[in-house]
Structures are given as C-alpha cells and as structure tokens.
Amino acid sequence: MSNFVSPEWVNQKVNSADIVIFDCRFSLAEPLKGYELYKNDHIEGAIYADLEQHLSSTVSTHGGRHPLPSVNILSQFFGRCGVDEEKIVVAYDDQSGSMAARLWWILKYLGHGNVYVMQGGYKHYKEKGYVISSKMPVEKLVHFTPKVRDEMLRNKDDVIHEMNNKDTLIIDAREPKRFKGEIEPIDHKAGHIPNAINIPWESHIQKPGWWKSRQELEAKYSGMNESKPVVVYCGSGVTACVNILAMDEAGITNKALYAGSWSDWISYDENPIIKEITK
C-alpha cells in the first residue's frame, strides 16, 4: 500500500464518515499565512493543522526550532479532530508535501497506520475544480489512543552514541550548501553532524507538489543496506519527515527521526560540527 493518495481519490471521499482531512499549508517565513489561506478556502471538511500551534511545542533552550509536543498533547489534538483508530487520515499542503509529511510522521509515531499524503497539493486540487469551501468544520470529539512507536524517534544523546557507529547511517535532509556549511540562513551555526551524508529532501520531489514514483524512490535507495539503522535530521525536524516518508515508500523500514535536528544539535556547545567549505 502506498503512502500517497491522488487528488481524485480525495475528492471522491470528501465528507465520508471514515476520513479526516488535514490542511497543513504553512510558510516558515510567514507563520500566519497558512491559516489565512485556509480560511479563504480549503478542501471541504478539512481541518487546519498548524505546524507551530499543533504539530510543535514551545521553543526553549534545547529541542530545536520545532520541538515535538508531548504524546498527551498530540493525542488531545487528534481526538478533538475526530481521529480514532478507525479513521483514514489524509494530509495535504502547498509545500511539496513537507508539512503534510510532518503530520504523517507524527501519526505513524503515535501508532496510527492509516495515514496518507495527497499528491499534487492543494493548488492542483483546486485547479481541477474539485469541491472546496471556506466553511469551518465542526469539532468531532473522539478518544484518540496512542500506541507510541519509540523506535521511530531519536534524541541528541542517541545521535552522539550512533554518529561514530559504522553500522548506523545518519542522513542530513537539508540543501547541500547548508549541509556543507557554506551558508546558514536560519540557524546560528553552520555545518553538519559528523559522519552524516546529505540527501536533500527536495530530491524526492519530481515537480512542485508531486512526489517521485515508488519505482524511482526504490531505485534511489537501492544501495542502502536494509539491516543498517538510519537516523534522519534536517534543520528542525520537519523536512526530514519527507525523507522518512520517501524511504518508507521505497521499503526501508529501519529508520528514525532526530526530531530536534540541527537546531537542537547546535544548542549544545560541546557537540562537534563539520564544515566542508571549498575555496
């Protein structure tokens, strides 16, 4: 079964009792913009999931720019949204799946297997003339029961333990210039975690909104040793979820997210940093 559903499929399922749709549109540069766009129009019945209000907790000294909320807080949110173990969940955005992938990963981590990302994004859905609305959905309170999959998550101490282990692969999902330390437009230190390799999250996207096919993703990861544990990070634990979703689509099972990612790593002065700047 794929992790993706088509816009056509979603349009056919709108207003079905067994589906919960999340609008995850979000701009890191303009944090309020996603919700404003959502209020204007969205897939009929879709609930807005804000990256910073719902899918992240309060920023502190450590934990990165988008710390994971507690399991209890996440469970309360999904319960308020009508997500129980019977529901099919679909997430979409207009950021090539990067925000939707965060919600996908969180629900997988909480043990909810029936979650998908819509190909094409909202822009394509709207252009197809499918049903959209500006009406706010009514809250449907249910009990969400988490079944946490601890193996999907890593913290700073885990990464320190594993970064010099030749049997663990650490993947940095940021763009190459940030990985090398040539630029750093967001965080206060540039570079990457020692022994990490760079697989940019955008390399899994064939064109804006559309993910590469399963065959293409399988080919991309065909050289990976399936028995080798993988830890993926990015700037703040958001776009790394794209890599994890793509790897899951390719059949890679032994993978985890360093949720705090680079912004957490550099909050500890003693943590080593590698730069690969060429003159």
Catalytic annotation, residues: 234
* Side-chain-facing half-sphere of 63: CA atoms under 13 Å: 11
Q: How far apart are the first and last CA of the chain?
A: 47
- Please report where in the chains the tokens 């079964």 appear, as a residue: 1
DSSP the chain: --SEE-HHHHHHHTT-TTEEEEE----SSSTTHHHHHHHH-EETT-EE--TTTTSS----SSS-SSPPPPHHHHHHHHHHTT--TT-EEEEE-SSTTHHHHHHHHHHHHTT---EEEETTHHHHHHHTT--EE-PPPPP----------GGGEE-HHHHHHHTT-TT-EEEE-S-HHHHHTS--SSSSS-SB-TT-EE--GGGGEEETTEEPPHHHHHHHTTTS-TTS-EEEE-SSSSTHHHHHHHHHHTT--SEEEESSHHHHHTTSTTS--B-----
Q: Would strands 132-133 and 42-43 be described as parallel, antiparallel, or unpaired?
A: antiparallel
How many whole angstroms separate alpha carbon 257 and alpha carbon 87? 25
